[in-house]
Structure 1
Amino acid sequence: MIDTPRSKSTPVVRRAFAGAVCLIAVAGLALTAWIGVRAVLAQTHLLQARAAVSAATGALDDPAAAAAVFASIGDDTSAARELTGDPGWRLAEALPWIGPQLSAVSDTAGAIDSAVRALEPLAAASAGLSVDVIRPVDGAVDVATIAAIAPAATAAASGLRESADRLSAIDKGPLLGRVADGVSQAGELLDTAAGAADALQRAARLVPAMLGADGPRSTLVLFQNNAEWRSLGGVVGAVAQLDTVDGRMTLVAQASSADVGDLSAEPVAELAADVRSIYDTRPARYLQNTTQVPDFTVGAPLAREMWRRVHGTDVDAVVALDPVTLSYLLRATGPVRLASGDDLTADNAVRLLLDETYRRYPDPRQQDAFFQSAAAAVFQALADGRVNPVALVDAVGQAGRERRLLVWSADATEQAVLDGSTLQGALPASDGTRTTFGVYLNDGTGSKMDYYLHPLVETAWCGADLASVHVELRSDAPDPASLPAYVTGGGEYGVPVGDALTGVYVYLPPGAQLLERRTTGEDGATGFAGGVHDGREVVKWSVRLAPGETSQLDLLVRLTATAELDAVATPTRDGSELPRGGECRFPG
């Protein structure tokens, strides 16, 4: 048999093909080994860096402590970035299945390294700076030192937010569980760090200004009473004017809301039509009701104008806080002695100010004097420097997160610093990643019975574009006969003695559509009303509860689904009564 040229070449081709396959296999194994080794090394560096970044984030309350943490972070993050960024790694990122895993790892390494680089200028600017800088010395806070770290803090906040957003943009769909978990954990860490840096930069820009770094300043302080609910916390009772210059604070005037005078005849300012349709003109006629609109940028200017008309001072800013905030501040100052002889502590402040006061003093002016004494004592402890600075930062941070500490500035530039923060006390905001409801509580009894009411607010997804909001109110009021008439309201506004009438205002996200509403529980529910405020549909539920009763409201809403769903609500006397996730109340 004669061989043809084709048949003669077949063994050669086969050998060549086999050799190529072997080479490819060897190259693939080598590449796999190369990537595997680098991945293990990168993971080691990332774990070390992540632990260090977490420590640095937790130490941002004390810039000097944070600076010390950065000594070893940079080397680890740079090494991880280099290990996951060489040409071989990039080549493997184009492969199916394994490629997205490798891309996610390299993106995570790059984001963490970028975050560390963003924090380094802040660490350098903060070197040698202690949190003790916020403690007054000889009656004055060192505002210049605080202001000096603002540029680095602002840059760090911007860089950290960019890194956090980079991780949140990673598609986790094709990722393995372990890789997806690692990306999520890193993203949460950077998001927390970005939030901490953002709070620091806002404080570094705003606090010196409010403490008179650029000239004398006046601030009106509103003390809200959580025993008589208003949307932002409670009815405004005691008020004070705090003047500052060069970091030195002076309490120059105190008054009760009754001292402001009778301004009820005509509103002190024109309210928007949508606000009037829901709240009438009461927020612009009574200082007590300036916190009824759940937007501090509306109520604060009204309080400022009322104070100007009575006391003749155009204050530069307005701050609102409540007895719970005072209890948090008392963790930092320790107990303070009142003129009454009482020791006001973090443990007894809420009970003493919102319950026992009314049993002890039947005259409202005596009650107001007691409130003023408590506020003055805490202020004096702060002004004298009798405070633990770390505990003070924690106290202010917690009060801010719970929306029980609010700030408004008449200066547009300063007000812009507050934009988007919980301190601003704005209407609930929603965006492409988060949907937020608002649930605001207002007393309708003319009493202090809200000390005994307990709300529960839950949100849940019910489907691709459906969400439910659950609001529950429970009364644990004692026998009305055991309570002063000032607490029960004495039936003056038509509510039976011992009962509590509450107006619950539920703000839906912009564009949301209410599909169903229902109530369960006691027969005290008196009806529904509503309106539209700033493009948000508002459902008002009026409910009356006798001691021991509970009522519930459930809403089913159609809206665009987002990754997160939550709510903001009126802060009560109990710091644990915060909105939370729950179960859909409309199954099927």
Structure 2
Amino acid sequence: MSESANPRALRQAGVVFAWIVAAFLVALVFLACWVGVRGFLAYQHLSDAQATAGAAREDLSDPALASAAIADVAADTSAARALTSDPLWRVAEALPWAGPQLGAVSTVAAAVDDVAGSALAPLADVASGFDLAALRPQDGRIDLAPFTDIREAAATGASSIGEAADAVDAIDRTPLVRPLRDAVDEVGTLLDETETATGALTRAATLLPAMLGADGPRSYLVLFQNNAEWRSLGGIPGATALVRTDGGAISLAEQASSSDFPRYDESVLPLGPDVEGIFSARPGRFMQNVTQIPDFAVSGALAREMWARERGGEQVDGVIAIDPVALSYLLAATGPVTLPTGDVLTAENAVPLLLNEVYFRYEDPAAQDAFFAAAAASVFSALTAGGTDPAALVDALSRAGDERRLLLWSARDDEQALLADTTLAGPLPQTDDDVARFGVYLNDGTGSKMDYYVTATPTLTWDTCATGGSAASPTASGTATLTVTLTNTAPADAATSLPRYITGGGAFDVAPGVARTVGYVYLPEGFELQDATITGDVGFGGGTHDGRRVLSFAVDVAPGASATATVTVSAPEGSAPQLELVSTPTLVPPPDLVAVCEPA
């Protein structure tokens, strides 16, 4: 009996096992269908959100329209998140191969929903009541209330976007199929850019009211850099002005020339042996040289101290630097400005008039200073009178900041901390995990205004490179070459056809018409110098500045001639795969020099 029962038991066990397998397969098919359908629907919602967001970019100038679009985006991202976060989807995320793909999709859906719902929607609600006309001064005063209203929403949005960006960055790209990996990378880049933009808005909404005197009167020293006589951060501060703010009111209190400041016997502030080893003590002894050190935190502190010494100890709250090229951008917002001389200053003629033609017109430096003072006062009056195009003003200030033509240093540590990671701070070139930054800083050695005729053309390339790291955090190693070509475009007869004030007249042992340039090349932290040459076999000096190797050189270039400095370096293992160049802003927009080590 037991013998005949065994086959029956086995058959029953086989039937049970078959049913279990069938149930499992049915469940698996059901799970696949469930996930597939929900994944397709989620994809549709995310695609709709992307299309709506793309269309909204055209409406950003109208916050009300942008706010409505963000509400639509939030509805789609919320639906996509719900479709990719139910229990069955979570079960499927544990499956081999398919699981990481589904996990990445659900993480991205949750991240973009957090951005749309928790970050952008509240910000859009506040922004819908914001009018760019609020940026336009009325009778010399700016209404500070809109900035205060938007500050909290911007800070909350920046925090939420940062968390979403971190979540996407943490996704392991290794097991993902190529299309999904590319999509995750694209979302990560977009979130990083959005975080940067929202952070900038937060800083602006925090700093502007304070700087404009929301909490009490402020004073700022403005340095007008002259790009016809180069300094590392732009040009010599040939003219200065004191601007006062109080409760949104802005007034021009005083103007002065750099010639009003004496030559100090020693640096007004300690520079440290490393800095003095490269630049000597001159940046701390002459107002004209404070921007020779390519770190505006140092320049601002030096200028503040010099002002205090000549103004009975008055300590300004900060220092601002701007150049005539940035001024030409602002004139696009104000429109033409008529000067007391009868000249009409425009966006097109500001640079040649202020940096060249004035020296043909006025031989006396005092008359030149008076012209510069009149121009600065007239533009200031136009900016504060209320007739400025606010959108054009924002564009002008953004462009000037991006090109490092507008610099700001605050004497208040909390405000300086907000500025520190921006181009407005004018910092030394910063290297991080993603980008290794070189610096090329140019200074006039002629003692004249010959740099109006000098062009600087840099190049930056990887010669050899190998990639490493992971897809999410790539690295590189190899060799790279940086070149800088200086060309003197002055006429062949510059010695006789150009005014002495432009050529220098042979001062500093430089023949009239020749342009002498003193350059400083900053290598990224950790990079090693392999070779350095320059036309004419000129020697290099240098040192170390805040952990960066610095090469210095001086070269003379005759009219019509050129000279090229070439620097080859090696990047250590684990370096950033992207190289960038930070350079002195000259008469033309700085080149966007980027070199990327691409995977083989």
**Deviations 1:62-113 (Å, cap 9, x if unpaired)?**
7555434322122111111111111222222222222222122111111111
Question: Residue 135 of structure 1: CA displacement?
Answer: 0.9
Q: State the AA in 2 paired with 1:487.
A: I
Does the 8 Å contact 1:230/1:289 carry over to 2?
yes
Q: State the AA in 2 paired with 1:499.
A: V
> Per the alignment, in what secondary structure is the counterpart of residue 587 of structure 2?
coil
The whole-number CA distance in structure 1 between the counterparts of 2:171 and 2:407 is 35
Among 474, 493, 498, the alignment partner of 1:483 is 498
Question: Residue 474 of structure 1: CA displacement?
Answer: 3.1
The whole-number CA distance in structure 1 between the counterparts of 2:61 and 2:225 is 27
The whole-number CA distance in structure 2 between the counterparts of 1:63 and 1:544 is 54
What's the counterpart of residue 50 of structure 1?
50
Q: 538-547 or 414-423: which moved more?
A: 538-547
Q: State the AA in 2 paired with 1:176.
A: V
Among 462, 465, 469, the alignment partner of 2:465 is 462
**Deviations 1:411-440 (Å, cap 9, x if unpaired)?**
222222212111111222223333222222
Q: State the AA in 2 paired with 1:283.
A: P
> Per the alignment, in what secondary structure is the counterpart of residue 507 of structure 2?
coil
Question: Residue 266 of structure 1: CA displacement?
Answer: 2.7
Q: State the AA in 1 paired with 2:580.
A: D
What's the counterpart of residue 255 of structure 1?
256
What's the counterpart of residue 526 of structure 1?
538
Q: State the AA in 2 paired with 1:123.
A: A
**Deviations 1:322-369 (Å, cap 9, x if unpaired)?**
111111112211221222323222222222222333333333333333
The whole-number CA distance in structure 2 between the counterparts of 1:543 and 1:514 is 24
**Cα 1:402–1:54 shift into 2, 3 Å:** farther
Among 529, 541, 555, the alignment partner of 2:553 is 541
Q: State the AA in 2 paired with 1:33.
A: C
Q: 59-68 or 21-30: which moved more?
A: 59-68
The whole-number CA distance in structure 2 between the counterparts of 1:284 and 1:130 is 44
Unaligned runs of 5+ in 2: 467-475
What's the counterpart of residue 105 of structure 2?
105
Question: Residue 158 of structure 1: CA displacement?
Answer: 1.8
What's the counterpart of residue 356 of structure 1?
357
Does the 8 Å contact 2:583/2:590 carry over to 1?
no
What's the counterpart of residue 380 of structure 2?
379
**Deviations 1:275-324 (Å, cap 9, x if unpaired)?**
11111111111111111111111111111121222233322111001111
What's the counterpart of residue 316 of structure 1?
317
Does the 8 Å contact 2:70/2:124 carry over to 1?
yes
Unaligned runs of 5+ in 1: none
What's the counterpart of residue 133 of structure 2?
132
Among 578, 585, 588, the alignment partner of 1:574 is 588
Taking only aligned residues, the RMSD between alpha carbons, in angstroms, comes to 2.6
> Per the alignment, in what secondary structure is the counterpart of residue 283 of structure 1?
helix
Does the 8 Å contact 1:449/1:487 carry over to 2?
yes
What's the counterpart of residue 189 of structure 1?
190
Question: Residue 576 of structure 1: CA displacement?
Answer: 4.4
Does the 8 Å contact 1:515/1:558 carry over to 2?
no
The whole-number CA distance in structure 1 between the counterparts of 2:222 and 2:369 is 14
Map 1:379-398 to 2 at 5 A. 379-398=380-399
Quick check: 1:199 aligned with 2:200?
Answer: yes
What's the counterpart of residue 471 of structure 2?
none
Does the 8 Å contact 2:440/2:584 carry over to 1?
yes
What's the counterpart of residue 299 of structure 2?
299
Q: 217-226 or 555-564: which moved more?
A: 555-564
TM-score by length of 2: 0.90
Question: Residue 168 of structure 1: CA displacement?
Answer: 2.6
Does the 8 Å contact 1:81/1:109 carry over to 2?
yes
The whole-number CA distance in structure 2 between the counterparts of 1:299 and 1:257 is 14
**Cα 1:156–1:60 shift into 2, 3 Å:** farther
**Cα 1:305–1:62 shift into 2, 3 Å:** farther
The whole-number CA distance in structure 2 between the counterparts of 1:220 and 1:247 is 17
Question: Residue 552 of structure 1: CA displacement?
Answer: 3.5
**Cα 1:319–1:109 shift into 2, 3 Å:** same
Does the 8 Å contact 2:514/2:557 carry over to 1?
yes
The whole-number CA distance in structure 1 between the counterparts of 2:546 and 2:179 is 44
The whole-number CA distance in structure 2 between the counterparts of 1:344 and 1:72 is 46
TM-score by length of 1: 0.91
Question: Residue 530 of structure 1: CA displacement?
Answer: 1.2
**Cα 1:85–1:14 shift into 2, 3 Å:** same
